[in-house]
Structure 1
Amino acid sequence: MAKGFLHITDTEALTALVDRLKKAEYVTVDTEFLRDNTYWPKLCLVQVAGPDVAAIIDPLAPLIDLQPLLDLMADPNVLKVFHAARQDIEIFLKISGRIPEPLFDTQVAAMVCGYGDSVSYETLVSKIARASLDKSSRFTDWTRRPLTDRQLQYAIGDVTHLRKVYDNLAGELERSDRTEWLDEEMAILMDPATYIVEPRQAFQRIKTRTTNRRFLAILREVAAWRETEARARDLPRGRLLKDDALLELAAHPPHSIDEMKQSRGVPKGFADGKLGPSLLEAVRLGLECPDEDLPEAEKPVETPRGVGPLVELLKVMLKLQCERHGVAQKLVANTADLERIAGDDEADVPALSGWRRQVFGEAALALKTGKLALAAEGRRIKLIRLDE
């Protein structure tokens, strides 16, 4: 052990570490990775800590097999604690085919406990652990070896302070009886669909305002082509073709390689290369897609005329109720949700069901129906019941 933590570079040491950690109630976990030049994130480090041990595991070491660590991640008897877990989970899902479980995300837990929207790890360490983090190695190249002492100290801090953060937040959730609130959010993180992009759904991530279904059919096919090729070559999507190029192909679909060369977004020489014909085939599939198979355009929610002021009142109500209950607004509702609530008492939005309805939904509907009012009292806003 060096400077308070283990540096694991071989399978034997990793196995011994896991034997200790699997006896713990929970382990804190973080990863360092690079994704600048690849489709899949390249795992460079894994940091873990239990109550009495902390370690940095080097997955790039030549004599290491990560299987003992992956077994620990799948152990149902050990809670895995992350902060802002999505990218870490994506990595473990890719290398093991499984999502770590059971799972606790301190960023989400902090939102449930009223620390604000998408609160940073640095903020929680400062407020809860009363410590500061040296972030000078945040943008380091984690693939280079050997790692410096500063890099290692930076990396281990992402799991050692997390122990105290977790203990505090878990206690707050228990005392406020909000554990089930967190469970709803963890279910989303533990759903593989959260991380796996089906190629034919990739077009939905590209921003476009069109409602032209033929345009969307072409975009669906060329985006699926890009997703498939990027995965196969382990390249960033934009390294093959940028979104603007796909949008141009959908708006002005080429019928030949020569026409594709005229598309401004297609790099010079691309159409004549190995990928040109298969991209042209994707365009053809979109052009020839039967009408009944055309994707439906996402219709914008039309806010009824005259409800703008009501939406503004609902925003005030949301802020007031979230401050009163100590929960982040982002977890309860967004502006689009408020617009739908303004136009429909039975809008299909999270804010009108479960614990969110208790925190905000019931009050929002009471405000709409004139049973509740907002009033200023000095610098404060208060609620006034009008049906009593």
Structure 2
Amino acid sequence: MTPCKTTMDYGMTPITTTESLQELCTRLSKAEFITVDTEFLRDNTYFPKLCLIQVADDHGAHAIDPLAEDIDLAPFFDLMSNESVMKVLHASRQDFEIFYNLTGALPKPVFDTQIAAMVCGFGDSVGYETLVTKIVKAQLDKSARYTDWSRRPLTETQLSYALGDVTHLRDIYRHFVAELDRTNRHSWVEEEMAVVLDPSIYFIEPEAAWLRMKIRTNKPRFLGVLRELAKWREIEAQTRDIPRNRVAKDETLFEVAAHPPKNADYLDKIRGLPKGFSRSRAGKSMLEAVQTALAIPDDQLPKIEKVKPRPATPPMADLLKVLLKIKCQETGVAPKLIASSQEIDAWAASPRREDVRPLKGWRRQIFGDDALKLMSGNLALTALKGEIDIVELEEDNE
């Protein structure tokens, strides 16, 4: 078998043939881990358009051109599903969306350095550039940040910029593995990775599309029409691979739902729909969606609870947030991983709830148990010389 070329052999020439890609992936399949990143566009499409794949191991970094005419990405996707090779990414959700939409599956196993950073004291949602600066002690070239990655040929500057997203990631990964070994927190990262590996995150079912809209009324018939319109729009956008707002904006769907058209001519009077829309295929299918909704029996229409005014934040929530900040500073964990501000507010309002995130898994050890003590009066926060101290109180057994 011909030895696989190294990065030095490739220079700045992307892989553009299936044969070369298979050769690379065969070698990478023997690696302990690989680092992966993608460049994509989605300004004019529903699904992100994959424009470049960057991958690296200890022997080099490589750019793969998915837009090349003579390339089949199957070897790469086989590599991404190879369970003997760890895939390392940073802020992986957008990459996962691409892989899921192209293959119907997600890579495994995977390690997200942004999640690891949150566990290891780098705060919430830290950027890749920050990790490169603090861990690798290097500076990223920003000159190609706003590249149109769909245009060919790519310059050496653009390719160098893109490969920088996987070369430094090798050292960052090793740093976090060592830190997680030291602190025995690998399971914490694995728990968070399970969240981002939920396939439901990466595909919107048309039937549920209306639930993502900011609805200002709870009238059942309006909701029934809106649900069918949102479903129609999602199917149109997915089928035509265009942004949903290019099909119809939310405001347009709200207007149609509020004043359902009885015939096609009415569609041409709706602001936000193009002239002649009523005679188009999309116009006819939109009208069919409205008619379907109008035929739904009253007892089968969707309902949503009227949003109640948010009560004032209980003082206990403020104390819990102070406790959370102290605990996170002590352990070097990003507060976002344990609980959001909204979750703390809700818990403080209903302190007997057990189905809260701070009481699950490792979060309970870090924060949850002490939070329960604080709410039950068995723990106090005191101020001394400008510092906040945690004082555990003796239980009153009388």
Same fold (TM > 0.5): yes
| Change beyond 3 A, Cα 1:103–1:296 | farther
Could you tell me how far apart the structure 2 residues matched to 1:166 and 1:356 are?
23
| Change beyond 3 A, Cα 1:263–1:309 | farther
1:184 is displaced (CA, Å) by: 1.4
Task: Name the SS of the counterpart of 2:281 in structure 1.
Answer: coil
User: Which residue does 1:357 correspond to in 2?
Assistant: 364
User: Which residue does 2:283 correspond to in 1?
Assistant: 276
Of residues 28, 31, 35, the one that matches 1:24 is: 31
Could you tell me how far apart the structure 2 residues matched to 1:22 and 1:173 are?
25
| Change beyond 3 A, Cα 1:295–1:45 | same
User: Which residue does 1:243 correspond to in 2?
Assistant: 250
User: Which residue does 1:43 correspond to in 2?
Assistant: 50
Write out per-residue CA displacement over residues 237-290 of structure 1, whole angstroms, 9 at most, x where no aligned residue. Answer: 111111221222223322222333333333443334221121122122233323
Write out per-residue CA displacement over residues 119-156 of structure 1, whole angstroms, 9 at most, x where no aligned residue. Answer: 11111111111111112212211111110111000000
User: Which residue does 2:327 correspond to in 1?
Assistant: 321
Could you tell me how far apart the structure 2 residues matched to 1:318 and 1:193 are?
30
Give 1:251-290 correspondences, 5 Å limit: 251-290=258-297
* RMSD between superposed Cα atoms in Å: 2.0
Scaled by the length of structure 2, the TM-score of the pair is: 0.91
Could you tell me how far apart the structure 1 residues matched to 2:296 and 2:111 are?
44
2:192 is the counterpart of 1:151: no
| Change beyond 3 A, Cα 1:321–1:287 | farther
Q: Percent identity?
A: 53
User: Which residue does 2:4 correspond to in 1?
Assistant: none
Task: Name the SS of the counterpart of 1:77 in structure 2.
Answer: coil
2:85 is the counterpart of 1:81: no
CA contact (8 A) 2:63 2:163 kept: yes
Residue range with higher mean Cα deviation, 114-123 or 266-275: 266-275
Could you tell me how far apart the structure 1 residues matched to 2:67 and 2:222 are?
44
Scaled by the length of structure 1, the TM-score of the pair is: 0.94
1:54 is displaced (CA, Å) by: 1.1
1:196 is displaced (CA, Å) by: 1.4
CA contact (8 A) 2:220 2:302 kept: yes
2:137 is the counterpart of 1:130: yes
Q: Which runs of 5+ in 1 are unaligned?
A: none
Amino acid of the residue matched to residue 319 of structure 2? Answer: L
Could you tell me how far apart the structure 1 residues matched to 2:89 and 2:298 are?
46
Could you tell me how far apart the structure 2 residues matched to 1:288 and 1:200 are?
17
1:114 is displaced (CA, Å) by: 1.9
| Change beyond 3 A, Cα 1:307–1:92 | closer
Amino acid of the residue matched to residue 332 of structure 2? Answer: G
User: Which residue does 1:342 correspond to in 2?
Assistant: 348
1:385 is displaced (CA, Å) by: 1.4
Could you tell me how far apart the structure 1 residues matched to 2:169 and 2:308 are?
41
Task: Name the SS of the counterpart of 2:114 in structure 1.
Answer: helix
Q: Which runs of 5+ in 2 are unaligned?
A: 1-6
| Change beyond 3 A, Cα 1:240–1:146 | same
1:306 is displaced (CA, Å) by: 6.6
Could you tell me how far apart the structure 1 residues matched to 2:168 and 2:321 are?
35
CA contact (8 A) 2:267 2:277 kept: no
CA contact (8 A) 1:4 1:54 kept: no
Could you tell me how far apart the structure 2 residues matched to 1:298 and 1:4 are?
60
CA contact (8 A) 1:248 1:265 kept: no
User: Which residue does 1:309 correspond to in 2?
Assistant: 315
Could you tell me how far apart the structure 2 residues matched to 1:301 and 1:169 are?
44
2:293 is the counterpart of 1:293: no
Task: Name the SS of the counterpart of 1:230 in structure 2.
Answer: helix
CA contact (8 A) 1:188 1:194 kept: no
Of residues 226, 232, 236, the one that matches 1:229 is: 236
CA contact (8 A) 2:41 2:49 kept: yes
1:19 is displaced (CA, Å) by: 1.7
2:90 is the counterpart of 1:94: no
